[in-house]
Amino acid sequence: MVPVRGYKGARVAVLGLGRSGLATARALRAGGAETLLWDDDAGAREAAGAEGGTLHDLSKGNIWGGVAALIVSPGIPHLYPSPHPAVAAAREAGVPTDNDIGLFFRAVVDGDMSAAPPRVIAVTGSNGKSTTAALIHHLLLAAGRPSRLAGNIGRAVLDLDLPGEGEIIVLELSSYQIELARSLAPDIAVLTNLTPDHLDRHGGLGGYFAAKRRLFAEGGPERAVIGVDEAEGVFLADQMSEQAGDDRVIRISAGRRLSGPGWSVFARKGFLAEYRKGRQVASVDLRGLDGLPGAHNHQNACAAYAACRAVGVSPRVAEQGFRTFQGLPHRSQIVARRGGVTFVNDSKATNAESAAQALQAFGRIRWIAGGLGKEGGIGAVMPHLGSVVKAYLIGDSAQAFAAALGHDTPHEICGTMARAVARAVAEAEAGETVLLAPAAASFDQYPDFEQRGAAFMAEVARLSGE
């Protein structure tokens, strides 16, 4: 673990005792702090109490006079739609709030303990950040560079072992994690894209973008890799550039050629191209990679390639690494091929924008969709239904999705995953893809998107006799 030494002898409150909260409490105690712990869930409190630390309802009693800081887990609201009562009480008492990401950067990068801090590549974005972070990690290992993966994917940052000489830490960071961190100091910062998400948590799209932007504006990275397929990315790239051709900014795009004197990486018609100072310096064929299917994954490939190039990985080594990347579970994951039909699990497509990307990655599609619908419904999907042979609708949003699809797209309300997969398997023909891309959250039927994806894979395996 990474001990947090800045609070030795002090009392520090930790709110939220999931994976990151427990790691934070351990790291604080390892650094000599006394911890006050709380989670609104009794099961989480019980697990934390078995490890040490004092359990105390942080929403009750006047405890803040002797507390040095409140460390808040990412899932707990601290501003919108309203602060958690413990956060509000701490602020009223003048107690500063932070999170594990801020503690990590202070402990490891800002020099609390390490004479030779590791390099850090931090990845954020609305869609694709998990795949991009995992791909960067994979490419670094393929290049023989020591690397570890943490943050919103893999291990909690403070649960990592102390970094070794020359190590590169790859962090996936959500907007929740970025907006509250008091210290942000990545060497390379990556923004894959920006589409509306978590708007209630950030008070609208502007607040959501502002949270993402902090990684660049507050972090001061030596290089910024920025997706410029949305207006916000173009704006951010402009803000980060000192002059035309400033190669501290690497612009990336999926689907259009980027021009100009600077550094750019883009994908068109299945090929990745790298340009510097107006000249092409490398090209990579992305076609036929099972681990990176579709244009949205080509955007992830561009972002990962650019980040690795920024730390000295050669184009040839990066290309070799692409060919051995297997992708992540539940993200455009090819789980079976049977009778000429391909089965793809993209359970992570929890909003319409990410589902729309999945629908553009394959040909004739039997689309399984539905769950707990989000604000805006499936509006973003509607322009991309040309490849859908038929939709099989499940969960709470099935009726609403059916109404949106109307008479233009054949569909059937199935209700459950088992029936949807069975009906799709019965009707699918050779050359088609059965795609789970729900365009909705999972919480109406499953605890998380992973268990939803697992249910899809189990049904595919059962019906395939595997």
Q: Beta partners for 52?
A: none
Backbone torsions φ then ψ of 173, nearest 5 degrees: -125, 130
Write down how long the chain is: 466
Q: Which two tokens stand for residue 427?
A: 């009707």
Report the candidate in 57, 66, 58, 70 with the shortest Cα–Cα distance to residue 102.
70
In the CATH scheme, what is the homologous superfamily, with its name and number, of domain 333-464? Mur ligase, C-terminal domain (3.90.190.20)
- The pLDDT value recorded for residue 110 is 64
CA distance 67 to 423: 58
Tell me the β-bridge partners of 15.
38, 72
In the chain, ranges of CATH 3.90.190.20 domains: 333-464
Helix, strand, coil percentages (3-state) for the chain, rounded to 5, are 35, 25, 40
Cα–Cα distances in angstroms (integers) from residue 377 to residues 135, 230, 369, 403, in the given order: 30, 21, 12, 11
- Delimiting residues of CATH 3.40.1190.10 domain(s) in the chain: 102-324
> What per-residue confidence (pLDDT) applies to 115?
57
**Domain 11-98, CATH class in plain words:** alpha beta
Res 154: pLDDT: 78
Q: Are 332 and 294 in contact (CB under 8 A)?
A: yes
What's the fold here for domain 102-324?
A: UDP-N-acetylmuramoyl-L-alanine:D-glutamate ligase (3.40.1190)
Closest CA to 399 of 355, 443, 365, 369: 369
d(CA 71, CA 359): 40
H or E element in which residue 90 lies: helix 85-92
pLDDT in tens, 169-228: 999 999 999 999 999 999 999 999 998 878 888 999 999 999 999 999 988 899 999 999
Phi, psi (degrees; rounded to nearest 5) at 206: -60, -40
In 3-state terms, what secondary structure has residue 420? helix
User: Where, residue-wise, is CATH 3.40.50.720 in the chain?
Assistant: 11-98
279 bridge partner residues: 276
Q: What is the pLDDT of residue 114?
A: 52
Compute the distance between CA of residue 315 and CA of residue 77 in angstroms, rounded to an integer.
42
Q: How far is CA 272 from the centre of its chain?
A: 22
User: Which stretches within 278-375 are classed as H helix?
Assistant: 294-310, 315-324, 352-359
List, for the chain, all residue ranges whose pLDDT scores fall below the cut of 50.
none
**Catalytic (active-site) positions:** 129, 152, 198
In terms of Cβ atoms closer than 10 Å to its own Cβ (0-12, 13-18, 19+), residue 50 is exposed
Instruction: Measure the CA–CA gap between 57 and 383, rounded to whole angstroms.
Output: 49
